[in-house]
Structure 1
Amino acid sequence: MLPLALKSTVESALRTYGDPGPLQPPHPVSGGDIGQSFRLETPAGRYFLKFRTEAPAGIFTAERDGLERLARNSRSIQIPEVIAHEGPEKTGTGWILMEWIEPSSIQPHGMAETLGRGLAELHQHTSSVYGLERNNFIGLLPQPNRQRKKWADFYRDCRLLPQMEIAGKRNRLPPDRNRLLNRLLDRLDNWLDDSTISPSLLHGDLWGGNWMVGPGGAPYLIDPAVYYGHREVDLAFTELFGGFPNRFYDAYREAFPLKTDYQDRKPLYQLYYLLVHLNHFGESYGASVDRILKQYAG
């Protein structure tokens, strides 16, 4: 149910946007684990609203910034327009309002190619450092982005180590897992050679649920956790749970070939997302975490 105070706030935001309303009864839709999601309608148009009553401070500001950064740097892949949002400034009710993308169940010929080439184009936007000017979130968990010159340092200090610390606080770090994680952190330089890596703009949370086919068969990216990092991280996550057409990978490699030893690093990059899932959802992901740790540090 949409709280009355939030409904009034959203209506005010829509009037500023140029839609006089009024809002019709909202339609609940699926929208991930961050909050409740609705399709909103007025006589003039449709919109997507996501909100959470106990939202971490700044989570929807981070989402807005990520979407707008992707939109500025993406030519082939579409990004939903953000209309308004509320941070929140401190833990409490936050929300984000954006254009409604009518989903299509039809995946026309060429869509996967557009998606793959579009991601390759995105990854060719680079920076001189890894990270970002601001921290953001991966799901509901904080994602620190302290900028680093060296990729191995960034991946250790801003990706694996923070998730390891969260796992410890949530009693999801038994002795063997803790020992192998520490050993892996000490050995990251063995696998991450900065001379062959440059900071690419990443979506950051690129699983099968964070892209969709919109009107006319256009691919859209949603729910980013952006930063500048090794582009293989995005590719590795797309392969973890599936949901991407085979032609997507062919088109990506044609536009921006991968190093021949990508497969050697892929599980190492999937480890970050498995730790995130371990911390979000529990021990059902523990065996996958342990398998990767044994592969690299056993």
Structure 2
Amino acid sequence: MDDVARALAAAGRPAADRMTTLGGGCIHRVCAVTLDGGERVVAKCASANEHPMLREEQLGLERLAMTGCVRVPAVLGPPPTAETPVLLLEFLPAAPATAAAWSRLGSDLARLHATPAGARYGFEADNHLGRTPQKNDWHDDWIAFNRLCRLGPQIDRAADAGRLEPREHDRLRRLLDRLDSLLPPEPTPALLHGDLWSGNALVTRDDDDGVRVAVIDPACSVGDGWADIAMMRLFGGFPEACFAAYEQAAGRPDDVERRVRVYQLYHLLNHLNLFGRGYAGGVMEAVEALGG
């Protein structure tokens, strides 16, 4: 409570009247805070040594908001610090989902991925995918970025932790060596949410547009827009109307299914590293589907 009080003071907000823990905070404690006067905000609270993860999230939310393409909660305070490891965000009230809202999300994502994001792949800062560190060094080549900053580090992490059998590790390394046959070298660089599973999509009531799907908890980078769609498809929870609206606006490249499998492999490897050998079968099925 003291950390939240300091964060509210630093943001020039009234004091907290009461706090309620919200579900869905996989890493940090998330609370709805009712302020004196009745306004509600969200406080994400970390330990002092994990405050950089909150700063990464704040940067991602701010960069997504700058595009004007997708609905995200507004950041309400200064960056979290070790002394005040709290991220204050706009409270987004939940609303019943509608088909129109999901279609709008697909269109929003297509606009996001069509918005110019520079000429290179990476991001201005490293961040985390869940608890996994995510390198975002800038690269001119998308294949090199995926080899050195995405698949390669996940494969190395899994091997070092003993989560891969030697034969599995060899097959993954061989796939990495022929990545240039699986991905385009220069897809249009787009700002990505980066961690777009259904738990990070919140149906909310928008003052201007009725019901809308907002996106939260990003792990941003600049890359191929289909990487966001790949994760959405992998773990489910998004209706077909969302994907149909995306494809109507963005088109559908001939090699999209192969791209999607590669991007899904990254998330399967991350789950292998986070949660153990229960995901090894899914990893190797993806390798098999890619001809490895």
For normalisation by structure 2, the TM-score amounts to 0.92
Alpha-carbon contact 1:131-1:145 (below 8 Å) kept: yes
1:153 shift after superposition? 0.3
- 2:19 corresponds to 1:29: no
Give the 3-state SS of the residue equivalent to 2:18 in structure 1.
Answer: coil
**1:10-64 deviations in Å (ceiling 9; x for gaps):** 33134x1xx322x123111113322111111012300111112265362111100
**1:134-180 deviations in Å (ceiling 9; x for gaps):** 11111121111101011000011000111122212322122122111
Between 182-191 and 30-39, the greater mean CA deviation after superposition: 30-39
**1:225-256 deviations in Å (ceiling 9; x for gaps):** 11111111111111001111111111111111
What is the RMSD of the two structures over their aligned residues, measured on CA atoms?
Answer: 1.8
CA distance in 1, matches of 2:72, 2:4: 25
Match in the other structure for 2:250: 256
Match in the other structure for 1:100: 91
Alpha-carbon contact 1:61-1:85 (below 8 Å) kept: no
Which amino acid counterpart does residue 99 of structure 1 have in structure 2? E
Determine which of 85, 88, 101 is the counterpart of 1:111.
101
Determine which of 144, 147, 168 is the counterpart of 2:159.
168
Alpha-carbon contact 1:81-1:99 (below 8 Å) kept: yes
CA distance in 2, matches of 1:219, 1:24: 29
1:93 shift after superposition? 7.2
Between 113-122 and 257-266, the greater mean CA deviation after superposition: 257-266
Match in the other structure for 1:209: 199
Identity rate of aligned residues, in percent?
34
- 2:280 corresponds to 1:280: no
Aligned in 2, Cα 1:7/1:88: closer, same or farther, shift over 3 Å? Answer: closer
**1:62-101 deviations in Å (ceiling 9; x for gaps):** 10010010001133x3110111255446xx9732110110
Alpha-carbon contact 1:60-1:85 (below 8 Å) kept: no
Determine which of 139, 142, 145 is the counterpart of 1:148.
139
Aligned in 2, Cα 1:206/1:265: closer, same or farther, shift over 3 Å? Answer: same
Aligned in 2, Cα 1:109/1:181: closer, same or farther, shift over 3 Å? Answer: closer
Match in the other structure for 1:121: 111
CA distance in 2, matches of 1:11, 1:107: 31
Which amino acid counterpart does residue 31 of structure 1 have in structure 2? G
Aligned in 2, Cα 1:108/1:296: closer, same or farther, shift over 3 Å? Answer: closer
Determine which of 189, 201, 209 is the counterpart of 1:199.
189
Give the 3-state SS of the residue equivalent to 1:84 in structure 2.
Answer: coil
Alpha-carbon contact 1:180-1:297 (below 8 Å) kept: no
Unaligned runs of 5+ in 2: none
- 2:178 corresponds to 1:187: yes
- 2:6 corresponds to 1:13: no
Match in the other structure for 1:47: 41
Which amino acid counterpart does residue 24 of structure 1 have in structure 2? D
Match in the other structure for 2:228: 234
For normalisation by structure 1, the TM-score amounts to 0.90
Which amino acid counterpart does residue 107 of structure 1 have in structure 2? A
1:109 shift after superposition? 4.2
Match in the other structure for 1:268: 262
Give the 3-state SS of the residue equivalent to 1:264 in structure 2.
Answer: helix
Match in the other structure for 2:237: 243
Alpha-carbon contact 2:51-2:86 (below 8 Å) kept: no
Unaligned runs of 5+ in 1: none
CA distance in 2, matches of 1:109, 1:259: 25
**1:109-145 deviations in Å (ceiling 9; x for gaps):** 4212211110000001232001112111111211111
Aligned in 2, Cα 1:234/1:172: closer, same or farther, shift over 3 Å? Answer: same
